Amino acid sequence: MRIIHAKDYDDMSRKAANIISAQVILKSDATLGLATGTTPIGAYKQLIKWYEKGDVDFSEVHTYNLDEYRGLTHDDVQSYHYFMHENFFDHINIDPDNVHVPDGSNPDADAACAAYDKIVKDAGYVDLQLLGIGRNGHIGFNEPDAAFSKGTHMVDLTESTIKANSRLFEHEEDVPRQAYTMGVQTIMHARMILVAASGADKAEAVYDMIYGPVTPQVPASILQLHTNCVVVADEAALAKCPR
């Protein structure tokens, strides 16, 4: 793993955006695995600015999001589909046909997950996968478990994830209890992985991801086995790691 030290959230966001834009400049039809959550918003904002300046062109890029809540339609303001359009896609020149998010509106979990797996596999997996990390070490919605997951599957969200995500909902009861997520094996197929982390509440998970044993109890720890994984984290998130 390569660790890139950032000063704070803004610095982390710029550094992450630089790596993503370099990928798109190097390969105009790059396939990007994208993430939702608070962490990548700053990077998306930076990429939008560079797009507006004419520095980066997304017209041939294809994107594949990690996960989606089960039971929300695409236009639900809480869906990750909506989030991605609001925070990124609506502000760049990506072709809407090139955007992929698991279909949370399909209640048939097996069909929805198999369809998404096929889409990602047929694309040859992604060139660059952007990941946030959960306070419990989750990646996508792959929560701590007895084994690493493989393909796209339905998960029951843990109490800690429901609590963490409830800040974006009016009431905690409104947070969906299930989601469809890319599996750990699918994530590991990415040719490059970029983990972004910011804030003291991620310090423990970041330490465990980089220095802890590789265990499905800390899903992000599997990234130690990836041959091209870069972690961009700010001082607070790296506080428990040796300099």
Name the residue whose CB lies closest to ligand PGA. 37
Cβ-contact 185, 150 below 8 angstroms: yes
What counts of helices (H) and strands (E) characterise the chain?
7, 10
Candidates 133, 187, 193, 232: give the one binding ligand PGA (CB under 6 A). 133
Which one of 22-30, 42-50, 129-137, 144-152 is the stretch in contact with ligand PGA (CB under 6 A)? 129-137
Q: Is 136 a catalytic residue?
A: yes
* Residue-level length of the chain: 243
Q: Is 62 a catalytic residue?
A: no
Nearest of 159, 91, 150, 156 to residue 121 by alpha carbon: 150
Candidates 132, 176, 183, 219: give the one binding ligand PGA (CB under 6 A). 132
Residue 155 pairs with which residues in a beta bridge?
Answer: 179
> 117: how many CB neighbours lie within 10 A of its CB?
18
Q: Is 67 a catalytic residue?
A: yes
Cβ-contact 122, 98 below 8 angstroms: no
Task: Determine, following the binding rule CB under 6 A, whether residue 183 of this chain makes contact with ligand PGA.
Answer: no
DSSP 101: -
**Closest distance of CB 39 from ligand PGA, Å:** 3
Q: Which of residues 26-55 bind ligand PGA (CB under 6 A)?
A: 37-39
Binding residues for ligand PGA, rule CB under 6 A, total: 6
Catalytic residue IDs: 67, 136, 138, 143
